[in-house]
Structure 1
Amino acid sequence: MSASASPNQKRPFWTIARRDAAAGYIFIAPQLIGIIIFVLVPLGLVFWYSLHEWNVLAASFNFVGAANYQMLLADPNLPQVLVASAIFSAGLVILNMSLALLLAVLLDQKLKGMVVFRTLFFSPVVVSLVAWTIVWSFLLQNNGGINGMLAMLGIEGPNWLRTPTTAMISVVVVQVFKNVGLNMILFLAALQGVPKELYEAARVDGTGAFKQFRRITLPLISPTILLTSIITIVGSLQVFAQIAVLTQGGPGMTTTVLVYYLYQQAFQFHFFGYGSTLSILLFVIVALLTFAQWQLRKRIVFYEN
């Protein structure tokens, strides 16, 4: 008779399943701790601050309940701020993604010198954001470089950053040129992953280039399109430095986006409680837009169909 374990013998604590689970927890611990410390705790503190009126200069911190949220609903400037944020985000997303995809298609050619052009278009991404914006602020001044070049052609340029119709366009274009290279690289990587056999089969069937792009390229790079759209939309709603350096929210409030308005309320006017309430509003908007895009993936992502 073969020896067998006694029914009363205790099982060892460190079983294989528990060792595997412990190893998994150890691997995810740094990321989990980072999320707790840098995301969940600050988010909880911001919500707590939004229920108070915090005056740093007077050293007062008083609980006011939902008063800041009532102020948010009654704020006469908020609709204009949200409209400016929507215009900036829409312009940035449309121009950035369209230009990035166009550049990626053009640079996905087997021609000499393409590496140089890829590096050239990507280089603004690694440039300091503040330095990039300061240079553009000089170029866009009334007597700056852009109007100087237009004057050589006999064209009188506008005061780009002080005219309501051109201020928002200028800020959007500056941001597009700054970050278009990142989306371009993502699209370029996706294009290079499309099987070339599909294009060869389409050409044999007499399919034109535009139809190949619409029926083959776009469906197969749709996961990357979803990713870049989420990144670009979230980034557009968090823009601050460009507004602060170029327009300071003006002229009037035409370029006062939500993050810059939050900064004004909290750090210029010292309404930290109301600034925290605006932070909660921004978080809700970003979360809802991200959730909506994720839900739309079954319609726009080829692999989800």
Structure 2
Amino acid sequence: MALLTGDRKAGRPSSRPAPGGTRRWWTTRRRDHLAGYLFIAPQLAGSVLFVLVPLGLVVWYSLHEWNVLADTFEFTGADNYRAMVDDPNLPGVLRATALFSVGLVALNLSLALFLAVLLNQRLRGTAFFRVLFFSPVVVSLVAWTIVWGFLLQDNGGINGLLDTIGVDGPNWLRGDLTAMLSVIVVQVVKNVGLNMVLFLAALQGVPGELYEAARVEGASRWTQFRRITVPLISPTILLTSIITVVGSLQVFAQIAVLTQGGPGSSTTVLVYYLYQQAFQFHHFGYGATISVLLFLIVLALTVVQWQMRKRWVFHEQ
């Protein structure tokens, strides 16, 4: 009975002094703590080496003027930040970035949810269409963009199809509005399948009894969708919105391959402007400053979305 008392009765390691009157240092609790730290050590080391350290270096570089051609690295303090505030091109770049992000997020999420609801039905052929809409996700981004570049040319495949029905299509990549629309559509078609799969997984977790009860009460399909489907999949909507917003602010390859920021600067988003300043004009310090701005924008939007979850995410209410 004495063995069932004290710390041993509670399932905790005994703190009884070891023979000789000294307390043991290498206890079961310390061994468990060490095992936990060893398990998280690879992820922690990766986060420090590939996230925190590069972020700190970017901030450090933004305080310098670094010219690799002249091999100079001079401390300039806040000069790059003052130059960014006075940059006459930056408002247009931010406007193009906002237009691209809003268009991409709205079209991607709405289309992905629409496709998920359709393909969640138990109908013949749904498996084929699930694979069809998801397949662009696994295609190489550069190859996908190059193919669409040929299709969107003035004499490309899309205008060829329009010509068969008597429609004279525009030069999609040379008009201010059509160029931005083209880039958005190319990106949406490329990645809509990923959000569609996430929504499908969430929809299949909604209990069918709720829909049966709603039908008994005379609720329409729209009411069922608004009152049952959307609240129960709202955590997935939050996840996909954060992923899509962050991804829309980091788009580069599509702009570089399709429009190179043109015509003019109508499709010059922030990441492509950063690339121009750092790797075309060799203003690495100013490019790092734009990187800091991009990081702050992404951080602010993520925090805002995370805080807003308390108002509309079902499990957070």
TM-score by length of 1: 0.98
Query: Where in structure 1 are there 5+ consecutive unaligned residues?
Result: none
Match of 2:194 among 182, 203, 213: 182
After superposition, the CA RMSD in angstroms is 1.4
Equivalent in the alignment of 2:97: 85
Q: 1:61 to 1:258 in 2, by over 3 A?
A: same
User: Is the 2:252–2:271 contact (alpha carbons within 8 Å) kept by the matching residues of 1?
Assistant: yes
Q: Which runs of 5+ in 2 are unaligned?
A: 4-15
CA distance in 2, matches of 1:176, 1:245: 16
Write the mapping of 1:207-246 to structure 2, written as runs, cut at 5 A: 207-246=219-258
Question: How far off its partner does 1:218 sit?
Answer: 0.2
Quote the offset at 1:114 in angstroms: 1.1
Question: What corresponds to 1:37 in structure 2?
Answer: 49
Give every structure 1 segment of 4 or more consecutive aligned residues whose post-TM-superposition deviation is greater than 4 Å.
Answer: 2-8
SS in 2 for 1:10: coil
Give the match for residue 180 of structure 2.
168
User: 1 CA distance for matches of 2:18 and 2:265?
Assistant: 80
Which one of the candidate residues 59, 62, 71 is aligned to 1:59?
71
Correspondence for 2:203 among 176, 187, 191: 191
Give the corresponding residue for 1:299. 311
Rounded to whole Å, the distance in 1 between the matches of 2:62 and 2:103 is 31
**1:202 maps to what in 2?**
214
Q: How many residues align?
A: 304
Partner amino acid for 1:216?
I
Q: What is the TM-score with the length of structure 2 in the denominator?
A: 0.94
List per-residue Cα deviations over 1:59-118 (Å, max 9, x = no partner): 000110100000000000000000000000000000000000000000001112211110
Cα separation, 1, equivalents of 2:60 and 2:79: 13
**What is the CA-CA distance between 1:8 and the residue it aligns to?**
7.4
User: Which residue of structure 1 aligns with residue 26 of structure 2?
Assistant: 14
Identity of aligned residues (%): 72
Deviations 1:191-212 (A, max 9, x none): 0000000001111111111100
Q: Structure 2 matches for 1:51-200, cutoff 5 A?
A: 51-200=63-212
The aligned amino acid for 1:50 is S
Are the structure 2 counterparts of residues 189 and 201 from structure 1 closer, same or farther at C-alpha, using a change threshold of 3 Å?
A: same
For residue 6 of structure 1, report the CA deviation from its aligned partner: 7.8
Superposed displacement of residue 7, structure 1: 10
Equivalent of residue 259 in structure 1, options 267, 271, 278 = 271
Measured after TM superposition, the shift of residue 31 of structure 1 is: 0.6
In the alignment, structure 1 residue 250 sits paired with structure 2 residue 262: yes
Distance (Å, rounded) in 1 between the aligned partners of 2:130 and 2:261: 34
- C-alpha separation between the residues in 2 aligned to 1:14 and 1:48? 42
Q: Secondary structure at the match of 1:296?
A: helix
Classify the secondary structure of the residue corresponding to 2:73.
strand
Q: For residues 203 and 298 of structure 2, what CA distance do their matches in structure 1 show?
A: 28
Residue 38 of structure 1, CA deviation: 0.2
